[in-house]
Chain A
Amino acid sequence: MRTLLFRSLIATPLSQPVPKPAADALSAALGAQLDRAAQRRLGRSVAIRALDAGSCNGCELELNALGNAFYDLERFGLRFVASPRHADVLLVTGPVTANMREALERTYQAMPGPKWVVAAGACAIDGGIFAGSYAVHGGAGAVLPVDLRLPGCPPRPLELLQGLLALMEPSSASRPSARAWSDLRLG
């Protein structure tokens, strides 16, 4: 174990730079979906409660990937929390199934205000390929007010990250502090 830890110490970091210009355009487009007050309020720390409303588990795989050394989402002040009572943002994946609707609503109700809802993935946006099934209500918007939609099946981790950054201060990707941080990490 010691060798492994030592190797990690001298290895170059894997973390990706903060999403760059192309990403800025996307962030801006995503940011435009949000009202600026939301961004001001959330500032630079966002607690996210992820909720699978009936996904195929593909979206969860990419959400989990956000925690790996490449994306390392906590360096941006983004954090997944266990309790809805600690959350600012409810991040919904999957179509809302009839069997999950109540759990979704109750999770949302358990969150303190102000709160925001992000629909991640094609299914959470409008039910995706499962829309129209007897067992599916549609996207998260069929049940809750959605503030931000992140397309993809599943969205790539980088796309998720860009989207979540848009929740924070406007054009957070070009914020001096964020840039300095990423430069530091890249050595």
Chain B
Amino acid sequence: MSAGRAQAFWLRNLTAKIAAIPMILTSLVIFIGCSIWTVVYSFTSSRSLPVTDFVGFRQYERLFGAHRWSLAVENIAIYGVLTLVFALTVGFILAALLDQKIRFESIFRTIFLYPYAMSFIVTGVVWQWMFNPGLGIQHFVRQLGFENFTFDLISNRNTVIYAIAIAGIWQITGFAMVLMLAGLRAVDDQIWKASRVDGIPAWKTYVMIIIPMMRGVFVTSLVIIAAGIVKLYDLVVAMTNGGPGFASDVPAMYVYNWLFERANLGHAMAASTMMLLTVLIIMVPWFYMEYGRKNKN
């Protein structure tokens, strides 16, 4: 290749590189750079403005000592486990039911999925209204004659997180169902034929053959939903704004609060670093599995 052509080639590729600058900047400056910035400043005593006065693990000590933070962590753990378990199992069951050559399948699918199209704020506001002790579901059941019926999750400190979980699960299940349905449809129908010839009942085929085959779909759904759970913020804002007291606080809200309302950057950064750490613990093994293996092959 002559020098001129080599240069022309290089120049043409240059356009591509220039076009990719937004991506390069985003990945380096925002995703890597900002994360590192946050981690670094979590070791400082920054208050309303970032300062480089390093104080070691002081912020973390305070964080782990804070009752509010442990409440937030406990809440997100409860919410996370409930959401994952219910979204995945109910999502799979609904998908399996819809896969039985149902009439009006698309109507059912549309109904199960529409919550996912709405904002968490909308979901939160609606469920807040339904949980309203004075006029909501509790009121309705009492009107039916069950005077002592209580369904007052939302204003009780011990149960408020379950109210939020109910709303969150309601919104996300359709998403899980769609992924599961796609997974079920991707199963070779000769597998089904083989199991019928073998005389395996349908439920057993699901449990012993189909679900193990769909491991990948389950893992992917789990990772995507889990990543969403860590970000949980809007729903809590709309439903309870963290209340009563701090009873429904979650890490994302905690960080927001210390960033913008209490102006204690160092502390907020320590909290967000903990969030980052959690995500890394979930993500790195999965990422390694998905991409590491593929690159080897």
The answer to whether A and B come from one shared complex is no
> Interface residues, chain B, CB within 8 Å of chain A?
none
